[in-house]
């Protein structure tokens, strides 16, 4: 039973490595554009979260 599980894990790992290598070789021509957009969206989210956190902290300090 244990050898079957070990065999399954090894086969799954090999398949995962092979498919990862296959997908790595295919480039995405729109990567730079989408990465820039994602970075901008993430930056906006962090700025909003920071501002809201500072407002919450100021409100907490004001109350106590």
For residue 26, the model assigns a pLDDT of 74
Instruction: Write the pLDDT tens digit of every residue in 46-55.
Output: 999 999 999 9
Look-up of token digits 């501002």: 51
Per-residue pLDDT band at 32 (split at 50, 70, 90) = confident
Max mean pLDDT among 2-11, 21-30, 46-55 falls in 46-55
Q: What pLDDT was estimated at residue 25? A: 74
CA distance 41 to 25: 27
Long-range contacts of 29-37 (CB under 8 A, 24+ apart): none
Give the SS3 label for residue 36.
Answer: helix
**2-6, 23-27, 36-40, 41-45, range with greatest mean pLDDT:** 41-45
pTM (predicted TM-score):
0.52
């Amino acid at each position: 039973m244990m050898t079957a599980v070990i065999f399954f894990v090894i086969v799954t790992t090999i398949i995962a490595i092979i498919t990862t290598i296959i997908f790595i070789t295919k480039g995405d021509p729109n990567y730079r554009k989408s990465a820039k957009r994602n970075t901008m969206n993430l930056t906006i989210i962090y700025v909003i979260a920071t501002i809201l956190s500072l407002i919450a902290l100021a409100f907490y300090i004001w109350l106590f």
